[in-house]
Amino acid sequence: MKQLVIASRESALAMWQAEHIKARLEALYPGTQVGILGMTTQGDQILDKTLSKIGGKGLFVKELEVALEEGRADLAVHSMKDVPMNLPDGFELAAICTREDPRDAFVSNRYAALADLPDGAVVGTSSLRRESQLRARYPHLTIRPLRGNVQTRLRKLDDGEFDAIILAAAGLKRLGLHQRIRIELAPQESLPAVGQGALGIEILAGRAELAALLVPLNDAVTAACVHAERAMSRALNGSCQVPLGGYAIQRGDMLVLNGFVASVDGRTFLTARAEAPRRYADSLGRAVARQLLDQGAGDIIAALGQ
């Protein structure tokens, strides 16, 4: 192909991600001209409400999918944690790239760790997943919603609106903001979001020539881990309205998947773990979901949907 256009959100992090994929494609295919179509999505425009109240993370990808449908772009680059568990008909994920640090990061100007925060300290987070884990482990903290791009969230911290905030380590590292991280939270303390740290490339289904061009960008281990995580979330009808996390790693020849579902207040906290050969990633995800449903996850999810 002589020309490819990448659809991307216009935030600094999203543009970094698009530029990263652009550079990789140009290195692979020197004769191809690669451009970027920057777009503002509905999720970027509505900042006064939490994602769980305005329709979820799918609001970050819909406009990009329209650009693919209309032929204004050939591929869209997403953070996999923003991609709905079920893609609309006519779309496919052509590649999932090597994962960056999947952990959550503790960011504070005054405190070195979550355990150092005093009673009533205000912690900002944009996700129910993080909120439920914080409330379960640190019930003495005050959790408040925090929206906006990475720079906006850091500015609110610096302006004194929060004592600490929790962000994805991958985003901070990709933007060269490593120094803002006080500590990366171990998965045992804050289990990551499904797909966190991984980039996905979405295209229109049926574009075999384009899909073939993107094969070298796919990382088999990351893809298997993310597929397992997404299969778990899909089986649980996971969304932004449900506090859940899922994180898979490869250990030897096996994938190991940990998952949780919790109430927002953290008082009910269900965990599950299973392992399986990599080729059974989807089955592994469904197995962990079944464990959680057997413990009562369905009741939590149903209550949140009311």
Residue 48 appears among annotated catalytic residues: no
Helix axes 281-294, 220-235, angle to 10 degrees: 30
Round to whole Å and give the CA distance between 74 and 36: 10
CA distance linking residue 171 with residue 150, whole number of Å: 8
The half-sphere exposure of 123 on its side-chain side, counting CA atoms within 13 A, is 29
Residue from 44, 48, 74, 82 carrying the catalytic annotation: 82
Helices (H), 127-205: 128-137, 150-158, 169-174
Axis crossing angle, helix 12-28 with helix 150-158, rounded to the nearest 10: 140
Q: In whole angstroms, how large is the CA radius of gyration of the chain?
A: 19
**DSSP letters of 67-91?**
HHHTTS-SEEEEEGGGS-SSPPTTE
Active site members: 82
